[in-house]
Amino acid sequence: MFFPFMTTTRTEGLRQSDRVSFRIPLEASWMDGSGLVRRLLAHSLLISRNGGVLRMQEKFFPGQEISLKRPLEGAGIRSARARIVAEIDHEPEGFLYAVHILEPRSDFWDVEFPSPHKAEEALARLLMECSFCERREVVYLNELELKSFESRKCVARICKVCEAPSIWVEAQSELVSPESQAARGSEVGRFAANHEDDRVLPRRNRTRVKARVLACIRRRGFQEEVAVCEDLSKGGIAFRSRNQYPEGTRVEIAVPFTPGSGAIFVPIRIVFSQPIPSAGLFRHGAAYLKPPE
């Protein structure tokens, strides 16, 4: 049932960036049938360059347009027009909608998303912010940055806003709730799941970087699991987990992973799976899947 929706998002360019699990408080407003402007509080579950998944306590229809407002630090407000792409779930806490932001240049989320072709250079990805100006950016970590994050939980890099090197830390969700973990599970996971053919990235770069960072593994129909990475490369990752994932299985992985921070799930395929009987764990190797052209 998600194929028509995925087709729509693809043509609308929703997939032109990573999708980050990130909760941001919002206000939605729209004109109702009698011409009255109505407002409600909402929040994001996933954000991408041109859209996201929002939870809202109101029934909307695909194609319906709404205005979104986002409070900024101080008294500022960021606003944009958005279109409901699809209702993807109905939970007791509200409806989940995939939305498309109609003003792509509005930088509504205040997050810089790198262009997808740079993803092949990524060992790991994180939503980070400059500790000086708080500008947020999806960062593709190289080996040096990954090692720095592993030992110090921060990375030194140039900030385009500060126009200087600065310390970057993981961005924390603006809303923290006990259900945020669960919310990332079922339906949002299905939204985030890709439907492209499995095309494993070419094995041109096999350099492995050992780093003991956490990863979150999401498999459709199963509980999310936090696992420990053994090494990472541009083509894939090796990790240890309690669950066994059969060879050939498609899962999504967010690495590095910190509960409550902006996780970026990307599709991978399990290449090997070996029990470690002494530890009661399984060692896995997995290869990143190539995103659709």
Residue from 31, 41, 133, 144 that binds Zn ion (CB under 5 A)?
A: 133
Q: In this structure, are residues 270 and 246 in contact, taking their beta carbons and an 8 Å threshold?
A: yes
Q: How far is the CB of 170 from Zn ion (least distance, A)?
A: 15
Per-residue burial over 150-175, b if 16 or more Cβ lie within 10 Å, else e, is beeebbebebeeeeeebebbbbebee
**Residue 128 makes contact with Zn ion by CB under 5 A:** no
Instruction: Report the residue number, 113 or 265, with the smaller CB distance to Zn ion.
Output: 113
Instruction: Report the residue number, 156 or 161, with the smaller CB distance to Zn ion.
Output: 161
Instruction: Report the residue number, 161 or 176, with the smaller CB distance to Zn ion.
Output: 161
Q: In this structure, are residues 227 and 268 in contact, taking their beta carbons and an 8 Å threshold?
A: no
* 57: its two tokens: 């306590």
Which range in 30-38, 153-161, 192-200, 240-248 contacts Zn ion by CB under 5 A? Answer: 153-161
Q: In terms of Cα–Cα distance, which of 132, 149, 131 is closest to 140?
A: 149
Residue 27's CB: how many other CB atoms inside 10 A? 16
**Residue 132 makes contact with Zn ion by CB under 5 A:** yes
**Residue 30 makes contact with Zn ion by CB under 5 A:** no
Q: In terms of Cα–Cα distance, which of 287, 290, 291, 270 is closest to 236?
A: 287
Which range in 77-85, 131-139, 186-194, 223-231 contacts Zn ion by CB under 5 A? Answer: 131-139
Question: Using omega within 30 degrees of 0 as the cis cutoff, is the peptide bond preceding 202 cis?
Answer: no
**Residue 84 makes contact with Zn ion by CB under 5 A:** no
**Residue 130 makes contact with Zn ion by CB under 5 A:** yes
CA 136 to chain centre: 14
C-alpha pair distances (Å), 226 with each of 145, 151, 189, 219, 229: 21, 19, 15, 12, 10
Instruction: Report the residue number, 113 or 239, with the smaller CB distance to Zn ion.
Output: 113
Instruction: Report the residue number, 30 or 132, with the smaller CB distance to Zn ion.
Output: 132
Neighbouring C-alpha atoms within 13 Å toward the C-beta of 32: 8
Q: How far is the CB of 126 from Zn ion (least distance, A)?
A: 16
Q: How far is the CB of 155 from Zn ion (least distance, A)?
A: 13
Instruction: Report the residue number, 111 or 255, with the smaller CB distance to Zn ion.
Output: 111
Instruction: Report the residue number, 169 or 214, with the smaller CB distance to Zn ion.
Output: 169
Question: Within positions 158 to 217, which residues make up the interface with Zn ion, using CB under 5 A?
Answer: 159, 161-162, 166
Tell me how many residues contact Zn ion (CB under 5 A): 8
Q: How far is the CB of 288 from Zn ion (least distance, A)?
A: 29
CA distance 82 to 143: 38
CA distance 280 to 138: 35
Q: In terms of Cα–Cα distance, which of 67, 7, 76 is closest to 40?
A: 67
Instruction: Report the residue number, 145 or 224, with the smaller CB distance to Zn ion.
Output: 145
Which range in 25-33, 128-136, 263-271, 284-292 contacts Zn ion by CB under 5 A? Answer: 128-136
Q: How far is the CB of 133 from Zn ion (least distance, A)?
A: 3
Binding site for Zn ion (CB under 5 A): 130, 132-133, 135, 159, 161-162, 166
